[in-house]
Chain A
Amino acid sequence: MQVDEATVRRIARLARIKVTDAEAKGLETELTQILQWVEQLGEVDTSSVEPMTRVVPSAMTMRDDVITDGEMASAVTANAPMSEDGFFVVPKIVE
């Protein structure tokens, strides 16, 4: 798999990470190299293999459907870059 600059930019956009022109060039080579290396997995026949989902087979446990906490707006917003009256203050998203 050859990763070109347009692909780097598309992926960076999806990941919400700004890349400079110089970084995009470097990433082209690095991502290509890494992806070509992982392509050796193609040698492995996995046609009749289930993907691994759990290390040790066990049923998912369910907790009781009850309220266990809450009323902690100040703790939740304690680390916010901006907050007001227990709300997060974020950039405007609707013009």
Chain B
Amino acid sequence: MTDLTKLTLTEARDGLAKKTFTSTELTDAFIAAIDRANPAINACVMTTPEHARAQAKESDKRIAAGEAGLLEGLPLGNKDLFCTKGIRTTACSKILGNFIPQYESTVGQNLWNAGAVMLGKLNNDEFAMGSSNETSAFGNVVSPWRRNGKDGKPTTDKLVPGGSSGGSSAAVAADLCLAATATDTGGSIRQPAALTGTVGIKPTYGRCSRWGIVAFASSLDQAGPITKTVRDAALMLKVMASHDSKDTTSVDAPVPDYEAALSKGIKGLRIGVPKEYRVEGMSKEIEKLWDDGIAWLKAAGATIHDISLPHTKYALPAYYIVAPAEASSNLARYDGMRYGLRVPGDNLTDTYEKTRAEGFGKEVRRRILIGTYVLSAGYYDAYYLKAQKVRTLIKRDFDNAWANVDVVLTPTTPSPAFAFGEKTGDPLAMYLEDIFTVTVNMAGLPGMSVPAGLSSQGTPLGLQLIGKPFDEETLFRAAQAIEDAAGRFKAPGNWWMKG
């Protein structure tokens, strides 16, 4: 039999429908792959093989009975930010310790109701704060990709898989699951997708319910999938998205059949190219990638239009007020009283302070302190309110652009994947990883990263598509055109597989 783990999500779906293999066979193949790969990749912080096999068995029964759901029998990874009933959920923080949720996230429940199989919980930056998966309490996730040295030969440098959804991107890129859940507050789906040659979409704010997802910055957080192909992402998002009365910011709007949109093509689609994204010091290869993307979309029948999004440069500094402010408020709940870690102190305040000092990692503490500062007495107007006003202007830039274009095309990241430790010394250098993605969260728009080429070091690069609110369908159509032209990108070899 061919290696089942190499299949895409939609290929596996079609194989199950044709009864070429069973969900149990498929699931066992992934369980074996994770066993062999996880010591090197560290994408899974917990594997749930018994749970997966039980779900697969039920799926095989439903397939035999002709009652298959949209994701019936398909093994997925679930980011450890999604609460899983009866299965440890930590947000990869020590402060949650051995937290066992008593409920399932709505996005997760949608997946299991559609028949999906959960292989385990995936690593991420602690509380989703990071762009390299170097802040997880469970250690770094290692990308299956390796960069070439100056001599053109592969090095053994350990590269970051991006973050915060680094476990999701690495697991999908290394064929350890068919697809994975992820979340995106400032680029945490799209940046890791770009750095690993995978597809990632952050839908419009409100498209997916945030209920049961550990909160980072509530006005920015959105769930979405990381997958091997554009078609796979279309299938995943269709199931993940829903209106949910448990999240008042989730929107009561019909969820289209995104997969059906893929065949519509992009003839006549108007593509905007914002000049403000040609940032100083942008590498030649990123510029070339962008030009390639423009040429591909043009060749597929789209028209190209220069646009201006004048407030782009203010998105990142505004984000680093809004996100820490909301995080400091959200993370106030971790006080050692009701769940998670408690470090006894001399009195109540001392207990709080010791618990939070020991439970939170360095980057999370730094962001809570920034957030506390900008929200402290006398500073609210100068920082948070100012940033929220700048956000209005960022959104207005896009509103103006939509008069002339349907989709915006940009690079996803300013540079290719880097090695561990290369950016950890300087918080600002790490924050700049999100320079092209964060505007999308600030404006609440849907954004998608599609693999588009390789860097001179042989590592993947992505292009980002930005759409109108709730117009994910058009993003999928444009993304398909890029994928058709660029092809797919797989990490060479299988150095990460042991035994």
Chain A: residues with CB nearer than 8 A to chain B? 3, 7-8, 11-19, 27, 30-31, 33-35, 37-38, 40-44, 46, 49-56, 58, 60-61, 63, 72, 75-82, 88, 90-93
Contact = CB atoms under 8 A, between A and B. Distances in A.
Contacts of A54: 249
B389 A15 contact: no
Contact of A37 (B100, B344, B428): B428
B211 interface: no
B391 interface: yes
A91 B348 contact: yes
A52 B389 contact: yes
23 contacts: A11-B373, A11-B376, A16-B353, A17-B365, A30-B366, A38-B321, A40-B317, A41-B318, A41-B386, A44-B389, A51-B385, A52-B392, A52-B395, A55-B205, A55-B469, A56-B206, A61-B245, A78-B100, A79-B100, A81-B341, A82-B342, A91-B348, A92-B348
B366 A51 contact: no
A35 B123 CA distance: 30
Interface of B: 98-100, 102, 204-206, 219, 245, 248-249, 251-252, 311, 313-314, 317-318, 320-321, 328, 332, 335-342, 344-345, 347-354, 356-357, 360, 365-366, 368-370, 372-373, 376, 383, 385-393, 395, 427-428, 443-444, 469-470
B357 A19 contact: yes
Nearest to B321: A38
Contacts of B100: 78-79
Contact of B328 (A15, A51, A76, A82): A15
Taking chain B's interface residues, is the majority helix, strand, or loop, or is none over half, making it mixed?
A: helix
A30 B249 CA distance: 34
Nearest to A89: B337
B342 A49 contact: no
Contacts of A51: 385, 388-389, 391-392
Contacts of B311: 44
A37 B369 contact: no
A81 B204 contact: no
A55 B444 CA distance: 5
Contacts of A14: 372, 376
Contacts of A90: 337, 348
A58 B332 CA distance: 28
A30 B362 CA distance: 12
Contact of B373 (A19, A31, A40, A55): A31
B389 A50 contact: yes
Contact of B339 (A8, A34, A55, A79): A79
B304 to A, nearest CB: 27
B337 A81 contact: yes
Contacts of B357: 17-19
A53 B353 CA distance: 32
B373 A80 contact: no
B360 A17 contact: yes
B248 A60 contact: yes
A37 B430 CA distance: 14
A92 B205 CA distance: 42
Given A17-B357, A79-B100, A41 B444 contact: no
Contacts of B368: 15, 17
Nearest to A49: B389
Contacts of B342: 81-82
Contacts of B350: 18
B393 A34 contact: no
Contacts of A60: 248
Nearest to B353: A18
By CB atoms of chain B within 10 A, which of A7, A33, A41 has the most?
A41
B251 A27 contact: no
A54 to B, nearest CB: 8
Nearest to A19: B357
Nearest to A83: B338
Contact of B317 (A33, A41, A63): A41
Contacts of B320: 34, 37-38
A46 B390 contact: yes
Given A11-B373, A30-B366, A16 B248 contact: no
Contact of A17 (B340, B353, B391, B470): B353
Nearest to A60: B248
Closest 5 CB pairs of A and B: A55-B444, A51-B388, A79-B339, A46-B389, A81-B342
